[in-house]
């Protein structure tokens, strides 16, 4: 099993579910996110992309159609199954806290 590199970064928000994100992990390459890197939200399992300012944004249609690495597909499927019955978008009042 490969080592998982955990890293922290300035808080950003998942553009899909609006949860705050400030930590990530990767199993290969540089642990710090770069513009264009993809991210899988641990709350909703959706894919986002780090913008030039390292804030998360929804992927373009082209980015969304790019195939994920098998390990990323596996991680995404686990998150989606785990959260399918529990997940809900944050309401504006929850987001304000």
Sketch the domain layout of the chain as residue ranges: 5-95
Question: Which pLDDT score, from 0 to 100, does residue 2 have?
Answer: 57
Handedness of CA 58, 79, 86, 90 (dihedral sign): negative
Structural tokens at position 97: 């806290």
Question: Which pLDDT score, from 0 to 100, does residue 70 have?
Answer: 76
Question: Which pLDDT score, from 0 to 100, does residue 91 have?
Answer: 65
Q: Answer whether residue 1 shows pLDDT above 50.
A: no
Does residue 27 contact residue 71 with C-beta atoms inside 8 Å?
Answer: yes
pLDDT in tens, 30-84: 667 889 888 888 888 888 898 999 899 999 999 888 887 777 777 778 777 777 6
d(CA 34, CA 81): 28
Q: What are phi and psi of 22, to 5 degrees?
A: -140, 10
């Amino acid at each position: 099993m490969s080592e998982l590199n955990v890293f922290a970064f300035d808080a950003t928000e998942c553009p899909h579910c609006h949860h705050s994100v400030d930590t990530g992990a990767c199993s290969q390459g540089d642990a710090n996110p770069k513009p264009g890197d993809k991210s899988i939200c641990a709350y909703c399992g959706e894919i986002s992309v780090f913008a030039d300012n390292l804030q998360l944004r929804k992927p373009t249609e082209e980015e969304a159609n790019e195939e994920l690495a098998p390990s990323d597909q596996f991680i995404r499927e686990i998150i989606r199954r785990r959260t399918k019955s529990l997940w809900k978008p944050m309401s504006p009042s929850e987001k304000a806290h």
